[in-house]
């Protein structure tokens, strides 16, 4: 009898509803300068209808591989700040969401690099707007990476400082926004994940002088946007912080990495970095993982 009851429960139980998540940002979210930009774009809803997959599409794939149901939407525009999105795309965004991921311009204020004033104002207004629609919404701020083009050339705002410094300054600004708002749940430490990949010996610190043998370039050829591995690391870090899932469990057979041409070994190393920064809150500075055994690739699910 109990077996019949269990079977009936499985047959008639309603599946868990998908959670609605919104990504708002610019080229750092839509994956400019890499194949990530248009990868798997049909799996997500681009509210601007620009044909973008980007980091949101990677998030969607990771969620699906982890047995999580998300309806993923994005609103992105190149070179724009959160203040711009707030004043120019509000009608697209002002609705009920379960999760929201906000990404500010890479230097905080395009006209006054390093100044967090507009971030503080726009993130506070966004948080109030989203909470008015859904009091239970969870909101994250993406703390973006250091830009070599702002660090190594003498005209850069962070010129002469260690490559890690810009990411740490962005993180401090996002922390201030979180505290000031009272309605933002997380800062997502993408820039610090980049720093950790460098400290762990996975990535080269200065693409201007060439890439050291055995290391990867986290940035695109413009030394500004991310490379494919850089966006993959960004998406892993967002996924881990938003869902609380250990990205290492995606493992060496993770399908997005394979489709984008990343080796299983590199995927596992980046998964570890994302785990450490998003869930543990520290960098072990050890990029070592056990190399996966060579096996025949499985067909995609």
Residue-wise pLDDT for 246-260, tens only, equals 999 999 999 999 999
Are 178 and 141 spatial neighbours (Cβ–Cβ below 8 Å)?
Answer: yes
Residue that is written with structure tokens 């620009």 in the block: 50
The pLDDT value recorded for residue 299 is 37
Give the C-alpha separation, 34 to 220, whole Å. Answer: 7
Residue that is written with structure tokens 């681009």 in the block: 46
Residue-wise pLDDT for 150-198, tens only, equals 999 999 999 999 999 999 999 999 999 999 999 999 999 999 999 999 9
Structural domains of the chain, ranges and CATH numbers in brackets: 17-280 (3.40.50.1110)
Residue-wise pLDDT for 253-281, tens only, equals 999 999 999 999 999 999 999 999 999 99
For the chain, the average pLDDT equals 92
* Helices 190-199, 228-243: crossing angle, 10 deg rounding: 120
Mean pLDDT, range 42-63, rounded to an integer: 98
E strands in the chain:
19-25, 45-46, 70-76, 99-103, 138-142, 186-188
Instruction: Please give the model's pTM, rounded to 2 decimal places.
Output: 0.91
The pLDDT value recorded for residue 135 is 98
The SS3 assignment for 168 reads: helix
pLDDT tier, 290 (very low <50, low <70, confident <90, very high otherwise): low
Mean pLDDT, range 227-254, rounded to an integer: 98
Q: What percent of the chain has pLDDT over 90?
A: 89
The pLDDT value recorded for residue 285 is 78
Q: Are strands 99-103 and 70-76 parallel, antiparallel or unpaired?
A: unpaired
């Amino acid at each position: 009898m109990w077996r019949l009851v269990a079977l009936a429960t499985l047959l008639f139980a309603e599946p868990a509803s998908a959670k609605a998540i919104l990504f708002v940002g610019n080229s750092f979210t839509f994956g400019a300068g890499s194949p990530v930009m248009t990868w798997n774009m049909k799996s997500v809803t681009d509210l601007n209808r620009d044909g973008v997959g980007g980091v949101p599409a990677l998030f969607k794939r990771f969620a699906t591989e982890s047995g999580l149901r998300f309806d993923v939407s994005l609103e992105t525009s190149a070179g724009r700040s959160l203040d711009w999105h707030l004043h120019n795309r509000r009608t697209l965004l002002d609705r009920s969401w379960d999760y929201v991921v906000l990404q500010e311009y890479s230097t905080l204020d395009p006209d006054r690099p390093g100044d967090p004033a507009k971030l503080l104002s726009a993130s506070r207004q966004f948080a109030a707007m989203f909470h008015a629609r859904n009091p239970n919404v969870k909101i994250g701020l993406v703390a973006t990476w250091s830009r070599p083009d702002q660090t190594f050339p003498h005209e850069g705002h962070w010129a002469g400082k260690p490559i890690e410094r810009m990411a740490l300054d962005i993180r401090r600004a996002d922390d201030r926004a979180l505290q000031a708002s009272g309605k933002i749940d997380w800062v997502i430490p993408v820039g610090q994940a980049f720093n950790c990949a460098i400290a762990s010996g996975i990535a080269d610190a200065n693409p201007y002088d060439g890439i050291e043998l055995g290391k990867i370039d986290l940035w695109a050829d413009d030394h500004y946007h991310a490379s494919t591995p850089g966006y993959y690391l960004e998406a892993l870090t967002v996924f881990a912080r938003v869902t609380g899932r250990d990205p290492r469990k995606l493992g060496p057979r993770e399908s997005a990495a394979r489709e984008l041409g990343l080796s299983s070994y590199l995927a596992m190393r980046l998964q570890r970095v994302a785990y450490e920064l998003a869930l543990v809150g520290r960098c072990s500075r050890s990029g070592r993982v056990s190399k996966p055994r060579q096996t025949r690739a499985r067909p995609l699910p």
